[in-house]
Structure 1
Amino acid sequence: MPKKLIRITTIPLSLEKLLEGQLTYMNHYYEVTAVAAEKDRLEKYGRKNGVKTFWVEMTRAITPIKDIKAVWKLYNYFKKEEPDIVHTHTPKAGIVGMLAAKMAGVPVRLHTVAGLPLLETTGNKRKVLNAVEKFTYKLATKVYPNSRGLQDIILKEEFANQSKLKVLGKGSSNGIDTGYFNPSQFDEIQKRNKRHLLGIPQEDFIFIFIGRLVSEKGINELVEAFKSLQAENKNISLLLVGPFEKELDPLKEETFKTIQKHEKVFTTGYQEDVRPYLAISNALAFPSYREGFPNVVMQAGAMNLPAIVSNINGCNEIIVEGINGVIIPVKDTSALFTALKLFVENKNYTERLSSNARDEICKYYERKEYWQLLLKEYKSLEQEYIKS
C-alpha cells in the first residue's frame, strides 16, 4: 500500500496555480488527497488531476470560530485516514492543518511558506499574526521557506530556528514548466491578432502585470508611474492581467478610475492561460511589496521578458540586476518611473536583458527537477519519522 500524503491550501486556486501538476506527480508515489475550501471547485480540481479531495471551509480572513470548526473537522479526518505526511501551504491552511495534524499524531507535518502577509500589517493585528505564524512553525516537523530571503526574515523575526528551516533548490514552491512557458509557441500572426483583439496598437511597447490588482502588489505606484511616462511617450501600453479584490486590499479610488478610463491601460480579468498575454508583451512590471517566490516573474522570464521588480525576497533572487531585469526599491513610484523609461528608451539594453531572460529560468527553476527534490525530501523524512 502506498503511504498517504495530504496537501492543504486555503483555496483551490492555490492548488491549481501555485502547485500546478505537483499533486498529480506525487500521486505516482503516494495516495494523495487535496484539501481546501470551495467544495465544487476543489472537486473539479480533483477530477482533473486524478487525486482524492476533502473539503473544509476556510477563509483568508481572521475567523476564529470557523477556524476551530475546520481544525476539528480535519482532526477527525486525520484520525480516520491516518496519513503519513500532511503538507500545508498558505497561512490559514498552515495553522489549521498543522494543529489538526499534531493533535491527530501525524508523524510528518510540513509547512511551505510562500510569503508573509503579516509583513504589511501593524499594531495588535501584527502581534496576533506573529503569534499564529510562530505557533504554526512550532507544530510543524519541518518548514520550507520558498526563498532564501524569506528564510532570513523568518530567522530575524524569530519564528523558528535554523534547524527547522530548509529552502529546496534555489527556491520556489513548484518550479516552472519551461516547455509550457515557451515563446516559440506563438508566431507573429497570433501575436498581431491578440494585440488587435485587445485594442493595443501594434507598435506599442507593452508593460504587463499579472496578479491580483490590489495595493500590496504595487498597482497604485505602477499606474501612477505609467501614466506619467505615457504623457511623455504615447507609444506605450499597460496590460493588467488579473482580478480586482475590493474587499481585502482595494486600490486607491484614483488608481481604479485611471485603470477604467485611461486609453492605454488594458485589463483582462483573471486568465487561466497567461501565455498569450506574455507573448505580446515587451517587459514585466512587478512592483510588489511582498512575495514568497513569485511564479509570474519566472513565467515572464521563460517567455523571454525582462522584468522590473521590487527589491524583496524572491524577486531579487530570480532577477539579477542588469542581466535579466532591473530591481527597484519598494513603494518607490519615482524609481519605477525611471525603470519603465529606461526600458522604453534604451532598446539595446532591453533587448540584451530579454535575450538572457529565458536562459536564467531554464538553468535554475525547471519544474520536474523541483518535484524530484521534494519527493527526495519526503522519502528522507519518511525514513526518519515513520516506523515501518
Structure 2
Amino acid sequence: MSKIKIAHVLHSVGGVDVYVRFVLDNIDNSKFCSVILHGKHDTNHPFLDKDKEPVKEYRPSIVRDISFIKDLKAIFEIYKILKKERPNIIHAHSAKGGIMGRVVGRLLNIKVIYTPHAFSYLSAETKIKRKIFILLERFFSKGDGLLLATSNSELKRGLNVVKFDPKRAFYLNNSINSINNVPNLSIPRTWPKEYICTVGRPSYQKNIELMIEILGKINEFREVHLVIMGVGPVSYRLSNVQDLIKKKNLEEKITLINWTNRDNILNIINDSKFYISTARYEGLPYSIIESLALSKPCLVSNCDGNVDLIKDGFNGFVISDDNIDTFVEKALYLLSDEKALKQFSENAFISFNEDYNISKNILKLEEFYTVHSKFN
C-alpha cells in the first residue's frame, strides 16, 4: 500500500509553524509522507519527521504581507512544485497559505484542506479591511475544499461568518505532546520568584496594553511581576507597550523577553503562578495548551480559542468585555488562595489530557487525511 502524500503550504511562523512540526513529529511514517512548502525568509530550522529524519522542503516566495506581484510569483512556484510532487492532499495553513494552496489545488485538481489558525478578518483594525478580508475568505471557501478548524469556535466562525458548507467543515483541536520533563532555563533570570506570565508579541491581536493596565491595578493591592515572552521583530506595537509601561511606572514590574526557544518558554510558564491572556482573537493558542499541560491555570479574555481551552471556574477564568476590575479580582484570588490555586492546577492538567494530548488527536488527523484522500 502506497503512502498518502500531504503537501503543507504555509508561511512558517508562530502557531502555524508549531502546528506543522507537531504533526510531522507524531504522524505515522509508515502510512503518510509529507512535503513542506514555506517562505524563503520565515524559518531556518529544518522540518523533521517522527524518526528525526529531514522532511522534503521547498521554499517558494511566500511572504507575510500582501504583495500582488510576490504572491503571484509564489503561486506559480507552488504550482510547479506540486505538479511535480503530485500529493494526495494539500494542507494549506493560514490566510496566505490558504489562498495559494486552494488556487493551486483547483488548477491541479488536488483536494485541499484549509486550516485558518484564526481567520484573517479577525486581524483587521478597521471595518473596511474586515469586510474585504471576509469577502476574500468567502470567495475562497467555495468549491470542494475542506475546512479543518483548530477549535470549535473557529469552526463556528467558518460556518456563520465565512459561510462554509457544513458538509465540508470540521474541527480538530490543536494538540501537543505531554511535557514529562521541564527543561532548564538557558537565559539569565532577572525577575522575582513570584510572577505571572504570557507569550505574545506586542500586537493588535495580543492586546498587551490591556494586560499592562491590569497589572498596574493588581499591584495596587499586591506586588506581582509580569513576564512577557515573544517580543520580536514583528512586534509593531512594542513602542506603545514600552511607553505605557513607563507611564504606569511599571518598569520594575514587567520583564520583556525577546524571541526565545520553546524550552525557555516552558520553564518560565512552569515556574509562574498562572498564565494570562488578553488577546482579541486566537485560533487555539499553543501557549495556553502548554500551560494546561504544565498544570497552570489561566486567566483569559473571552475570545475564540481562549473560551475553548478555559472552563470558567474550573481550570481558570474567562473575563468578558475586557473588564479590568474582574481581571484584577480573579488574579488576586488565584494569587492569594493556595488551596484554590492547587485545585485549578489539577483541573488544568485534566483538561489537557482529555482534549489536547496529541497522542490521541493525531489518530483523528490520520483518519481525516485517509478518508479525504480517497476523493483524489
TM-score, length basis structure 1: 0.86
* 1:124-182 alpha-carbon deviations (Å, 9 max, x no partner): 322221122112322552111111111222222143121110113xx22xx1211xx24
Pick aligned residue for 1:89 from 74, 84, 93: 93
| Cα 1:218–1:308 shift into 2, 3 Å | same
Pick aligned residue for 1:105 from 96, 109, 114: 109
Q: Measure the CA separation in 1 of the matches of 2:287 and 2:207.
A: 14
TM superposition shift of 1:258: 6.1
1:176 aligns with 2:176: yes
> Letter of the aligned partner of 1:100 in structure 2?
V
Partner-residue secondary structure (3-state), 1:166: strand
1:29 maps to 31
Identity over aligned residues, as a percent?
Answer: 20
1:166 aligns with 2:157: no
1:114-129 equivalences in 2 (<5 Å): 114-121=117-124, 122-129=126-133
1:6 maps to 7
Q: Measure the CA separation in 2 of the matches of 1:126 and 1:229.
A: 34
1:227 maps to 216
TM-score, length basis structure 2: 0.89
TM superposition shift of 1:347: 2.9
Q: Measure the CA separation in 2 of the matches of 1:124 and 1:140.
A: 28
1:363 aligns with 2:354: yes
2:84 maps to 80
Partner-residue secondary structure (3-state), 1:240: strand
Partner-residue secondary structure (3-state), 1:216: coil
| Cα 1:231–1:326 shift into 2, 3 Å | same
Contact 1:42–1:53 (Cα < 8 Å) also in 2: no
1:239 maps to 227
Q: Measure the CA separation in 2 of the matches of 1:196 and 1:79.
A: 45
| Cα 1:198–1:68 shift into 2, 3 Å | same
Pick aligned residue for 2:286 from 278, 283, 295: 295
| Cα 1:306–1:29 shift into 2, 3 Å | same
1:54 aligns with 2:58: yes
Q: Measure the CA separation in 2 of the matches of 1:196 and 1:2.
A: 42
1:132 aligns with 2:136: yes
* 1:202-250 alpha-carbon deviations (Å, 9 max, x no partner): 3x2x11101223232121011111022223322x111111124556555
Contact 2:176–2:289 (Cα < 8 Å) also in 1: yes
Contact 2:201–2:235 (Cα < 8 Å) also in 1: no
| Cα 1:259–1:91 shift into 2, 3 Å | farther
Question: Please, what is the CA RMSD of the aligned residues?
Answer: 2.6
How many residue pairs end up in the alignment? 368
> Letter of the aligned partner of 1:137 in structure 2?
S
1:208 maps to 197
Q: Measure the CA separation in 2 of the matches of 1:42 and 1:36.
A: 10
Pick aligned residue for 2:312 from 316, 321, 326: 321
Pick aligned residue for 1:309 from 279, 296, 300: 300
* 1:64-86 alpha-carbon deviations (Å, 9 max, x no partner): 22111111111122222222110
1:45 aligns with 2:47: yes
| Cα 1:14–1:57 shift into 2, 3 Å | farther
Q: Measure the CA separation in 2 of the matches of 1:264 and 1:40.
A: 32
1:20 maps to 21
| Cα 1:46–1:362 shift into 2, 3 Å | closer
TM superposition shift of 1:34: 0.6
| Cα 1:12–1:346 shift into 2, 3 Å | closer
TM superposition shift of 1:59: 2.1
2:207 maps to 218
